[in-house]
Every structure is written in C-alpha cells, then in structure tokens.
Structure 1
C-alpha cells in the first residue's frame, strides 16, 4: 500500500497522528498529487480545523481541477458553515467531474432543500436513493421533499420504506401519520402512525400536537 492508503487505514483504526504523518509524507513525496491534500484536509475537517481543511481542498483543486472528491469535501465544510449557496456550487462541480455516488447527490439535493428549492432538489435526492438504497436519511429527505411537493402517494411509499429500514424512526412515523390523516383522509390509520411516533419518542411534540388537533376536530364533527 502507498502512503495515502496506509494513512486511510490508520485513520480508520483511530490513529490520527500516524495518519497525519503518512499524509504529510505522501504530500512531500508527491507534491503534485491532489490525493494527499484531500486526505490531509479530511483529517483536519474531522477535528474541526475547517479553515485549514479548506486550504488543502483548494490546493487539491488547483493541482487537479477534476478532483471530484476535493469539491465534495469542500462542499461539506461549506454546508456545515451554513454557506448553502457556496456549498451547492461545490457539489455541482463534483458531479460535473463525473463523481457518481449517493453521497454527493444527496448533499446536492439536501443543500437545494436548505435553499428552498425542492423541485430542483427532488431529482438529486431520487438519484441518491437509487445509488444507495440503504441510506435511510437520503430516503427520508426524499420522502419529505415529495410530500412538500404534494406527491403524497410516492412520499408515503418512501416513508414506509424508511420505517422498514429503521423501525424506530419517529419522524417518519409522524410524517406518515400526517399524510394519512390529512391528505389521504384515513384518519384512524394516521392516528396509529402518530401514536407509534410517540411510543418511540415520548417527547415528540409534533406528533402530540397533531393527535390533539385531529381528535379535537373529530369531537367537533
């Protein structure tokens, strides 16, 4: 294995200092290779050294404008800083380099959600789910986006898959409850999902409030 591969192995084993040493050696031995800079930046980012991390990602991009991993990593840092417009640009560049994995599509789509552009987010979240069907969070956000665009049947389908994958996902049960009780007019079924959310999380205030409102409306009929 080369120094970058050894560094990644050390990082996975929790040997931070050894990983940094190996990535430093990789950069010194191959200063024109973007990979070492990306790896070093990832370590810095993981310990909250985001300003320094960005410098390493930018150096990687300078060395290799097609380094999709550098754009993706830089986008993640910007997203954490809530610089959503800037993050979106980096994720888009990563995709344009040919980066084809669920994470980059999810982050691009989720960033578009933060920018209140759900129609633009939806195809990217859908692609994320297609590429990584085991990613519960991607599927949940896809379901929420569909619901927000009033594509209720497909949203319900995705949320059912979420609770199959993660049976203790209280937020998914809450959203299923709202979808059935309000949009699909299956009130009792909706209430059962809302109560399930409360069983999982006793302080799930949205579910508690929804149950109160629905039961009040039923009593007034």
Structure 2
C-alpha cells in the first residue's frame, strides 16, 4: 500500500494526524501529482481549515487544470462557508471537467436551492437521485424541489420513495401531509402529520399542519349541523 492509500485509510478512520503525515510523504515523493494535494485539501476541509484547504486545491489545479475533484473540493469548501455563488461555479467546473457522480449533481442542486433557484436545481437533484438511488437525502431533496416547482403528484411519489428507504422520515411524512392538504384530503393529511409528530414530537410545521386540518374539520362539522 502506497502513502496515498495509507492516508486515505487513515482519513476514513478519522486518524487525522496519521493521514496528514502520509499525504505529506506522498506529496514529497511525487510533488507533481495533483492527487496528493487534493487528498490533503480534503483532510483540511474535514478539519474546517478552509484557507489552507483552498491553497491545496488550487495547487492541484495549477498542476492539472482538469483536476475535476479539486474543483469539487473547492465547491464543498465554499458551500461550507455559505459562499453559494462561488460553490456553484466550482461544482459546474467539476462537471465540465468530467466528474460524473451523484454527489456533484446533488451539491450543485443544493447550491441553487440555497440561492432560491429551486427551478434550476431540479434537473441536478433529479440526476443525483437517479445516480444515488439509496441516498435518502438525495431522494428527499429531489422530492422537495418537485414540490417547490408545484409538481405535486410527482413530489408525492418521490416522498413515498423516501419512506421506502427510511420509514421513520418525519419530513417526508410532513410533506405528504401538505400535499394531501393541497388536494383537500384531510384524512390523509392528518395521518401524515400525526406520523411526523409521532416520529418527531417537536416538529413545529407538522404541528401547525395538524392544527390547520383540525380547524378545517371543525368548520366542516359546524357547517353540516
């Protein structure tokens, strides 16, 4: 096992000092290889040492302008600092350089969501959901983007997919409750709000949704008397 592989194993096991040592040795052995700098940048990003992480990612790009995972690392760094415009630019660059995985599509979608551009985020979140079929967050965020784009039926189908992966997903139940309320199906709406509250008793939005349904039912009963 080479120093690079050792460093990655140490990083996976959260042995950060050992990882730093291994990556440093890997860079010393092959200073022209951008991968060493990218791995060290990822370590620094994990430690939230953003300025030094930026330097390592930029060094990797200096060595290889097509180092797609360096752009992805920069995108994550800017996202962590809530600099969403710069994060978007780097995630887009990673895609343009050929990075094709669900994570980069997901993160690009989320940067757009954070900039109130849910409509533009939708195709990226859809692609992330297609590539990461077992990723609950990817499936949920795609469903949320569908709902925000007023594609209610598709959003409902997607939230049901989320519940297949994680039956105790309170936010998926809440969003299904909202969708059923949109169609004035109070019984199903109440069921999902109750489920959300069972899973997460302090779910404020579900609590508000339930109150709204109960008020509607009370009003309907009064009108029928």
What is the aligned-residue RMSD (CA, Å)? 1.0
Count of aligned pairs: 220
- Equivalent residue number for residue 64 of structure 1: 64
Kindly state the Cα deviation for residue 218 of structure 1 after the two structures are TM-superposed.
Answer: 2.1
Kindly state the Cα deviation for residue 9 of structure 1 after the two structures are TM-superposed.
Answer: 1.3
Q: Any runs of at least 4 consecutive aligned residues in structure 1 with deviations exceeding 3 A, and if so which?
A: none
Q: For structure 1, which segment, 104-113 or 44-53, has the greater mean C-alpha deviation from structure 2 after superposition?
A: 44-53
- Equivalent residue number for residue 89 of structure 2: 89
Kindly state the Cα deviation for residue 13 of structure 1 after the two structures are TM-superposed.
Answer: 2.6
> Normalising by structure 1, what TM-score?
0.97
Q: For structure 1, which segment, 185-194 or 85-94, has the greater mean C-alpha deviation from structure 2 after superposition?
A: 185-194
- Equivalent residue number for residue 50 of structure 1: 50
CA distance in 2, matches of 1:61, 1:187: 55
CA distance in 1, matches of 2:10, 2:148: 43
Kindly state the Cα deviation for residue 31 of structure 1 after the two structures are TM-superposed.
Answer: 1.1
CA distance in 1, matches of 2:35, 2:121: 29
- Equivalent residue number for residue 217 of structure 1: 216
Unpaired runs of 5+ residues, structure 2, are 221-225
- Equivalent residue number for residue 205 of structure 2: 206
- Equivalent residue number for residue 40 of structure 2: 40
Kindly state the Cα deviation for residue 152 of structure 1 after the two structures are TM-superposed.
Answer: 0.6
CA distance in 1, matches of 2:217, 2:12: 55
Kindly state the Cα deviation for residue 154 of structure 1 after the two structures are TM-superposed.
Answer: 0.6
CA distance in 2, matches of 1:212, 1:22: 57
CA distance in 2, matches of 1:15, 1:208: 43
Unpaired runs of 5+ residues, structure 1, are none
- Equivalent residue number for residue 162 of structure 1: 162
